Each structure stands twice: as structure tokens, then as C-alpha cells.
Structure 1
Amino acid sequence: MRVTACVTVPAAPAINASRYPSWLRLLRVTAWVHRFDHNSRAKTDRRSGPLTVHELRDAEHVWLCNAPAEQFGPEIAALQQGRRLPTGSYLHQLAPFMDSSGLLRVGGRLRHSQLDYEAKHQVILPAKGDATRLLVTDHHKKLAHTGAEHVLTHIRQQFWVICGRAAVKRYTRACMVCRKRSARPMPPLIGDLPAFHVGDPAPAFTRVGVYFFGPLAVKRQRKREKIYGCLFACLSTRAVHIELAHSLDAGSFIMAMRRMMARRGKTKLVCSDNGTNLRAGERELRQSLQQWNQAKIADTLSQEGVEWKFNPPAAPHFGGVFERLVRSAKRALSTVLGDRVVDDETLRTAVTEVGALLNGRPLTHVSTDPDHYQP
């Protein structure tokens, strides 16, 4: 039953709530102060022993009555006088009322509901205040430091905090236990980009990173064979060229390297990991270049050798430039082919189309402004 008549709000004790770390500590101190005040006035009915549940509830009632008075004083005065709230008030949409004990509660349309009275008409609390902070912190600790949504759900069973979700997040973020538990180690400072990444501009595929991926299954007559993808990523433009290698030996890699250079142009720098096939490929490639020079075919190939840079051992993150493109290529291939085993010609077509797909991706942000340039 709603009560809009004038009610007496208990006076707040001379206690600074900001000094207390928990809601229970504040209630116990308030209850001891009230007991001392009662015993100093009473002559016969003196209280002794541990604090009772009734005394703790009276202490809680005092703080719940006085917490909204600091922010909603005009609204409480209007309700006590039977006047309507101003439309600009935070409490206007809650249809608040003052109950017989002086608590400011939410109105609503659940008067005939079978819910508990505390759940139907929650006690209204301001978003900021010591009482709200201690209540949120107390529920957060009782719920084993769970998230803000879980804490807000339990608080709503009895209290209605103005801007409750923001208030709960504000006070739970300050929890040192949660901050220590969710802390992440500071990542080390990443070194400068290599000179061949940000050096002088050069044509595409002048400096490339090479990486093998697979195996990919192909169907040849009645049996399946393994085939591997060799991805060449331009270190300047992030362009991609994918070749198929029939094995992981050095000869197959040399053939893939020669096909790439025949289609994309002369490569001056190759960056790769420490794969054994790539180390052998470097040696065989140098020998092949020497033989080409001895065969006097300088009119078709450059006289300069190919510089090769290997990443440090046990450091796969050094090849993040081309390994990220390998992930995109494998994802596109798995989307196109799925679990199907295709023949050699179909696989070569799919790999070529995946390379074209990666080369057509935007390199910058797609802006919504029509005056901006296209990516």
C-alpha cells in the first residue's frame, strides 16, 4: 500500500561512511552508536551482549532513508506534501512513493503481483554515494567477484540504483581483487621494422617473404597425393602470389621460385623461416644462378644474385607479415573447397583465384564520406 502522507525520516548518525571499507562494518558501527545512545537515555531497559538482527536492520534502515535525501531532497519533500514530481526529475518515470517507514520506493504496476514486496517496490538509491558504493561492493564480494550484470541482477531484487548498470561498473572496476585477477603482463616493446620493409620504394615482388603451407590433397586417377602451397608475399605492397609445389624438397621449391620470378619479375631479396628445404633451396639457387651466368644468358636474367634473409631460429613471429597472409589464403581455400578432394587442374584454378582475391582486398579503411578517396 502506498503512503504519500508526511513520514518521519530517521536522522543520520554523525558517521562518515566514506571511512568504512564494507557495508557490514558501517552497519555494525551505526548499530553500536544507536545502542550507546539508547543506553545513555534508558534507565531500566538497557541493551547488552552482541548486536541483534533487529539492531542491524534498524541501522540499515537509517542509511537507506538518508542516502536518497542528499540527491532527491526536493522530490522527497514533494512526495511528503502530496505534490507531483517535476517532469525533469530522474524519478519521474519510476512513479516513486514514500512507504510508512520513510523509505523511497519504486512504484510501477506490480501491486497485485505475487512477488515479494521488496522485489515489486525496490528502495531507490542514488547513482553516486557512499551507501551505494558500499552496497554494490558488498554484493560484488558475496557473489565471488562476478561481472557487473550478475551483480546488478542481485541488487535489483531489493534496491533500484539510478543508472544502475553504469554505477555497478564504476564500483566493480575499482575492486583490486578483480584488477589483479584480470591484469595482463605488459608486452615488450616491439622493435623497429626491418629496413627492407620500409626502405626505398621498389616494384612489387622485388622484396618477398616466402612460406609453405599445406598439405593439400589432390586426386590423380584413383589415388590421392599431397601437394603444398608456396606463398610469396611482397614485403612492400603486401601483394600475394601462390604457387603449387609437388613436394617439400629443394628442387620443387626452386621450380616454384622460378615460376614466380618468370611471372612477377626479378626478385632481389627473399625473407623466409629456417625450414630445411628453404636453406637447401638457397644453396641450389645460388648454384643455379652461377650456372646461368656461365651459360651467358645475362640477356634474360639479371647478373645480381638473390639476397636471402632467414628469421632467427625458434622465432616464428618474425614472419608475421606473410604468415598472416597464409592464414587468409588457407581460410579462403577451406571456404571454396571445403572437404572435397579435387584434381590438380581444379586446385590450381582455386589457388589462382584465391591469390586474386587477396590482391583485391582494400589496404585502407573504407570511409562513409563520399568525398574521400576510394581505398
Structure 2
Amino acid sequence: MWILGPHEFISKCEQRTASSETSYPLVQPSDDKELRPILNVHVSKTSVNLQSALGSHHFERFSEWSRLVQSIAFLHRYVRNRKRISTEEKKPNSVELYQEAELFVIRLVQNEVYETEISNMEQNLCLSKNSNIIALNPYLDSRGVLCVGGRLNKSNLEIHEKNPTIIPGKHYIAKLLIRHYHETVCHQGLHFTEGALRKAGFLITGAKRLIQSFIHRCVTCRKLRGTLEIQKMADLPSDRLEPGPPFCNVGIDAFGPWHVVTRKTRGGSAQSKRWAILFSCLTTRAVHIEVVEEMSSSAFINALRRFVAIRGKVKIFRSDRGTNFVGSTDHLKIDTVNVENGPLRDFLYKFGTVWIFNPPHSSHGGSVGEDYWNFSAYIRLYAFNSRWEKSNSRRSCDIHGRGFCNYKQ
């Protein structure tokens, strides 16, 4: 048995093997074109968050609820057209698109604000005691919208009235909804606006405070409910402040007519019209009333003559530029006293009297006779209750009224 073998035989075999082997040069694997190169591939996964892609913060660019919903409906219609829906499928009309867009906006807002509550409801867990809407007994309906619970489920009301949709009051769409339904009820108050929101199926948390704040800032409501501004009255004219005898500076006004019984006839009583000229002292507020039978220059001059004969000479007459004293009303064919015609102008010039017309809406000028006109009218209604008065009764009534007005001073 050979353990190592014969030395000579082994050395001859080794020499024969070494002579038969050929040497080949080594090649780098990266330089070998027959081999497939090893490439490093980087794989990245992109996750799209729908809330960040179309978040509710974009809704702040809209100032009206209807425009926001119409814009979302337009996007839905555009997506449907891009997907090339088959003609056999029923295409939704504009009303359905509007309702889908409205539902999309509400769900997006609720998922952002009430994310924890919705997650707990989907997992059949109880709401946290710190939740702001736990008192509303909320639940998720078949559309995935957070609605109010309550005990009206067996009533005959509409589903959106029994279980209104919860809208967070701190979100921007709450302001849009309040503006929309406030304009729908024609800028009515708090209760009308809140009732319109509840009728439409929305319950905004803290709605009363938000509606009151919105109405307070509403420009249209401030115009409709604002208090009237009062213009500051100008200084009194000098003729109302200078001391002097009574009826030196006089404010004048005419009122009427009244029907009086003038004479008896076979067919009954004949009625005529009577007017009254009210003279009021601009300094002492004393009153004098003269009755005229017609509104003409001659009758008015006679009333002035009687007044001057009783009260004395007058320096200034003040009156408003009404139709009773303006000569430009001739074409209207109404009973007027033309202060600017010849006879009356000559009469005033003869007595050295100046007639001044007050500017329109200037109560500081000399319109002190209107209060006394109302006072004398009350006295006439109290003293004479009959519809048709006699001429002497009319004159007596005016004298009584003049006495009461002067006694009032």
C-alpha cells in the first residue's frame, strides 16, 4: 500500500500537468461586455393627500356660497368629461351636480375640523368628552356627513330638518352660508336668518353670535336700520333776535281751505271755502290770525291792512317759498297769492316793508307759525265738531285759537 506514492512517478505527473496548462489573463467584471452590468435602482413612493391637494383654505377666495359650489360643480363636470364617460351611462343634470358639489364641500370641511370625531365613529368608539359637538349627539349618515342626532327621528319632518348637517362655526364656509341665507331673506334680522339656515338643513355651531356679528357689519342692514342723521341748525337770523315791539318782524303762513256754510237755499245750504293767514311775531312768538274768503292778491292785501291797523307797522315779512306765495304757479290754475305781482308789491313798497323768502328746509329762518297752525287746528276740532261751519263760527274759532296761542306764551 502506497501512502505517498513513488517519488519519481509523482514528480513526472506534476511536470506533465504544469506543461499542459495554459495561462489566461484576468478580466475585470466591470470591463467584460458579456456580463450584464449591475445597476443601482432607487424606488420612491409618492402618496397624494387629497386634503392638501384641495384643502378648504382655498375656499377663502370666494365671497359667496353659490359661487363656491358652482365652481366645485364645474370641476366635477370637467373631470367627468375628461374620463369620457360612456353615453349609455346617465349623465347628471345641473341640479344633481350642484348637490354633489355642496356635499363635497361639507364633507371636506368636516373631515378637516372633526377628523377625530369621524375617525372614532367609523371605528365604533365613543367620542371624547372634550369634543365640541358631543352635546349634539352626532352620527354619520349614509353619505358620510356628520349630522345632529336628537329625538325627532319618528316625526314627519324632512330628513334635513330632523337631522341637520353640522357646520363648524369657526370655519370660513359658516360666514358664506350666513351671508347667502341672510340675503335670501332680504336682510331680515337674527331669527329670520337662523330660521332660513335651519330650514335648509344646516346647524352652525355658535350661530346666534355669528349672525349678530354679521348683521352688525352688513352695509345694507346698516343703511336700512341706521338712525337718520340730523343736520346741525345754522345761526338764527338777526331779525329774530333784535329787541323791538311785537309784530315788528313777522313770519307769515297760509293754511286751509275749510268749507263753511254761507247761506240757506231751497236745496239746502251753500258752502264756500275760507282760508286763514297766520301772522307770528319772530321775536315774542305772538300770534295773529286773519280769515280771507279767497286766495287772491286783493283779499290778501285787505288781510294785511287789517293786521297793520291792529298791530302796527311791520318792517320784515318772512315766509317759505311755497305755492301760496309764489307767482310761478299761475299755469297750475290753483288759488295762490302772488307776492311778486304789481298791487301787492306796491303795497309793500308804500309801507316800507321787506318780504324775505326763506331757503328750502331752513327751519331756523322763520318757520315758527307751523306749530301754532297745528295748535289752532286742534282747538277748532275740539270747539266745533260739525263738518260744515258757519262763516262767523269760523272767524270766532280763529280768534279763540289766537287767544289760546298768545296765552300759551
Which bin holds the TM-score, normalised by the shorter protein?
Answer: 0.5 to 0.7
Letter in 2 for 1:99: Y
| Residue 204 of structure 1: how far off its partner (Å) | 5.4
1:20 equivalent in structure 2: 62
1:348 equivalent in structure 2: 395
Question: Are the equivalent residues in 2 in contact too, given 1:17–1:130 (CA < 8 A)?
Answer: yes
RMSD value, Cα = 5.3
1: CA distance between counterparts of 2:396 and 2:66? 72
1:122 equivalent in structure 2: 164
* Cα offsets for 1:44-72 (capped at 9, x unmatched): xx9666987474244132256269769xx
1:169 equivalent in structure 2: 215
1: CA distance between counterparts of 2:263 and 2:215? 64
2:147 aligned with 1:147:
no
TM score, norm. by length of structure 2: 0.54
1:159 equivalent in structure 2: 202
1: CA distance between counterparts of 2:212 and 2:112? 18
2:344 equivalent in structure 1: 281
| Structure with larger Rg | 2
2: CA distance between counterparts of 1:356 and 1:105? 76
| Residue 246 of structure 1: how far off its partner (Å) | 2.2
1: CA distance between counterparts of 2:167 and 2:247? 66
Map residues 24-173 of structure 1 onto 2, 5 A cutoff: 24-27=66-69, 53=97, 55-62=100-107, 65=110, 81=127, 83=129, 96-101=136-141, 110-125=152-167, 129-139=171-181, 143=184, 146-148=186-188, 152-157=194-199, 158-161=201-204, 162-163=207-208, 165-166=211-212, 169-170=215-216, 173=219
| Residue 341 of structure 1: how far off its partner (Å) | 0.9
Letter in 2 for 1:278: V
2: CA distance between counterparts of 1:286 and 1:35? 86
Q: Which stretch shows the higher mean deviation, 19-28 or 50-59?
A: 50-59
2:295 equivalent in structure 1: 248
Q: Give SS of 2:294's match.
A: coil
Q: Give SS of 1:267's match.
A: coil
| Residue 32 of structure 1: how far off its partner (Å) | 8.5
Q: Give SS of 1:271's match.
A: strand
Q: Number of matched residues?
A: 306
| Residue 338 of structure 1: how far off its partner (Å) | 7.5
Segments of structure 2 that go 5 or more residues without pairing to the other structure are 1-49, 86-90, 265-269, 320-324, 328-336
Q: Which stretch shows the higher mean deviation, 125-134 or 211-220?
A: 125-134
* Cα offsets for 1:53-95 (capped at 9, x unmatched): 474244132256269769xx99xx9x9637499xxx9x99xx6
Q: Which stretch shows the higher mean deviation, 266-275 or 123-132?
A: 123-132
Check 1:34–1:212 CA distance in 2 against 1; reply closer, same or farther (3 A cut).
closer
Map residues 307-346 of structure 1 onto 2, 5 A cutoff: 307-310=354-357, 321=367, 324-325=370-371, 328=374, 332=378, 340-346=387-393
| Residue 231 of structure 1: how far off its partner (Å) | 1.7
Check 1:246–1:125 CA distance in 2 against 1; reply closer, same or farther (3 A cut).
same
